[in-house]
Chain A
Amino acid sequence: MSTLVSLDITDGIARVCMRRPEARNALSRDLITQLRSTIEALQSRADVRVVILEGDGKSFCAGMDLKAVATDPVAMGDMLRALAETSLAIRKLPIPTIAKVQGAAIGGGCGLMVVCDFGVTHPEAKVGYPEVDLGICPAVVAPWLVKKIGAGPARAMLLLGGTMSGAEGYAKGIASHCVPLDQLESATMALATGLAKGGPLAIRETKRWLSVLDGSNDDAAIREAAEISARIIQGGEAQERLAKLWRS
């Protein structure tokens, strides 16, 4: 299996990079499996103070690579379960997490940004949850969005589908920082460097209580969401819409 996720640790800052630039880092089964294991391996690394999640090339992440498993709805369900587990692993990290988002963060890719503590993007980026346009149910990413921006705004965003600019995503609270594209790296590193100066025990406690208070520890709800999404994606409506999309 080729390396689809790289890990670099320098001065306590771990950079987890999705490396499928030719597919805008769409989440293939292999990529998401590697992402999950890379993140899980960071749980016990005492030398890591901050995690930056990023994507190689022009885009952060174009979402689930469903086309690759077009004839295999069961595989689609497995990928949704893997996305759910990956999001849980990111949320459970006892250190701050930053998504560095250039280009696109769509669907599951937007979900990865939102589950991180911080999302740094640029005004022209394309972000959002167009799942319902494809007949797919964004159940796995929904809880993280609700926790970030509140139930009312999340309801409108998920039901309306489509995408929005990075500037709009920032205004709606799904990204925490929005800077010009040429400052994306420096702004991300400035944030990471500042966060890395925090006392690890103190940060761990803060993150623990944030998750207790916002209900992030409800693993069962996320796993149930994956089953809901898996059921919908295996259904006729989703399969019909996806087939039509891929023919076009």
Chain B
Amino acid sequence: MDRLISHEVLDDGALHRITLRDDTRRNALSQAMFDDLDAALAAVTTAVARRQAASCVLLSATGRAFCSGFDLGACVADPSMMGSFLQRLSAAVRCLRSLPCPVVAAVQGPALAGGCALVTACDVVIAGPAARFAYPVHRIGLSPAISLPTLRGHTGGGARTVALEPEPLDAAAARAQGLVHEIVDDPTALDARALAVSRQLLSKGPQAMASIKRWMNAHDGSCDLAALDATLAASVATGSSDESSAMLAATWAAMQKPR
């Protein structure tokens, strides 16, 4: 089976490009996608730790969506899947946040729920005109608490609005909230700009970068393991509630109706 994620190593080992490429499912976080993501992140973590010089990670996606969140069909089919997905999402977020090198996100389309959580784990977020950001998960009875520590790292108090807002934020609104750092108006130029920013980051001193990232993580609480554990537990608790099961089933049934 083709991989759902590609991991390219560019610039003589300095730049790791991880690309979600499962357009048929709008880059949903399925079991297979998480398997590929885990593998890519493990490889990146090892390579970055071994490397003496600067590293950078670029997280991007191809297709209509950046990432549409969890594979809800799998959650409907197996009620234990929601908890498993939340655990795996949390692990991926922690991994990206604690890498000792900068992580850039190039967001070309909607980044929803778990997809938005992945974006919040990145340090620099560059968005194309079709980028959208939202946590439409209250409608399936799920709290996005899991994402709040890293979301707050970007938006501060705006997290209250972003996490509760039922409608997706466009790139400009997300920039106003602090989640997006740069908007590239031409969608065909997003890729080149994200690579250019990544290479700019590679020109900095790697020890200084690791040090300031660690310091920022400590300062904004976005890598506070106790908070990450507690908010993960809150999301798991809501995701395994009867309320969530009923709302998820209803949402899934509505999604299956031909439009």
**Is chain B's interface secondary structure helix, strand, loop, or mixed overall?**
helix
A-chain residues with CB within 8 Å of residue B139 when the two chains form the complex: 197-199
List B212-259 residues whose CB lies under 8 Å from chain A: 221, 227, 230-231, 234-235, 237-238, 241, 243-244, 247
A206 proximal to B (CB < 8 A): yes
**Is the CB–CB distance between B237 and A205 below 8 Å?**
yes
**Is the CB–CB distance between A201 and B164 below 8 Å?**
no
Chain B interface: which size bin?
35 or more
Binds A, one of B16-24, B60-68, B154-162, B190-198: B154-162
CA distance A171 to B173 in the complex (A): 10
**Is the CB–CB distance between B158 and A210 below 8 Å?**
no
List B121-144 residues whose CB lies under 8 Å from chain A: 137-144
**Is the CB–CB distance between A210 and B159 below 8 Å?**
yes
How many whole Å from A240's CB to the nearest CB in chain B? 35
B-chain residues with CB within 8 Å of residue A200 when the two chains form the complex: 243
B95 proximal to A (CB < 8 A): no
- Total of A-B residue pairs, C-beta within 8 Å: 103
List A204-224 residues whose CB lies under 8 Å from chain B: 205-210, 213-214
B158, closest chain A residue (CB): A173
**Is chain A's interface secondary structure helix, strand, loop, or mixed overall?**
helix
How many of chain A's residues have a CB under 8 angstroms from any CB in B? 29
CA distance A117 to B221 in the complex (A): 21
CA distance A149 to B244 in the complex (A): 32
A195 proximal to B (CB < 8 A): yes
Q: Which listed residue (B159, B176, B244) contacts A202, Cβ 8 A? A: B244
B166 proximal to A (CB < 8 A): yes
**Is the CB–CB distance between A198 and B157 below 8 Å?**
no
A-chain residues with CB within 8 Å of residue B140 when the two chains form the complex: 199
Q: Which listed residue (A191, A197, A203, A210) contacts B148, Cβ 8 A? A: A210
**Which of A191, A194, A205, A214 has the largest number of chain B CB atoms within 10 A?**
A205
Per CB-CB distance, the 8 closest pairs between chain A and chain B, nearest first, are A198-B138, A194-B166, A199-B141, A205-B143, A148-B157, A202-B143, A209-B145, A202-B238
- 14 A-B pairs within 8 Å (CB atoms) are namely A118-B161, A149-B157, A191-B166, A194-B166, A195-B138, A197-B166, A198-B164, A198-B166, A199-B247, A201-B238, A201-B241, A202-B138, A205-B145, A205-B238
Given A202-B243, A203-B143, 8 more A-B residue pairs with CB atoms under 8 Å apart are: A96-B164, A118-B164, A173-B158, A202-B142, A210-B163, A213-B159, A213-B227, A213-B231
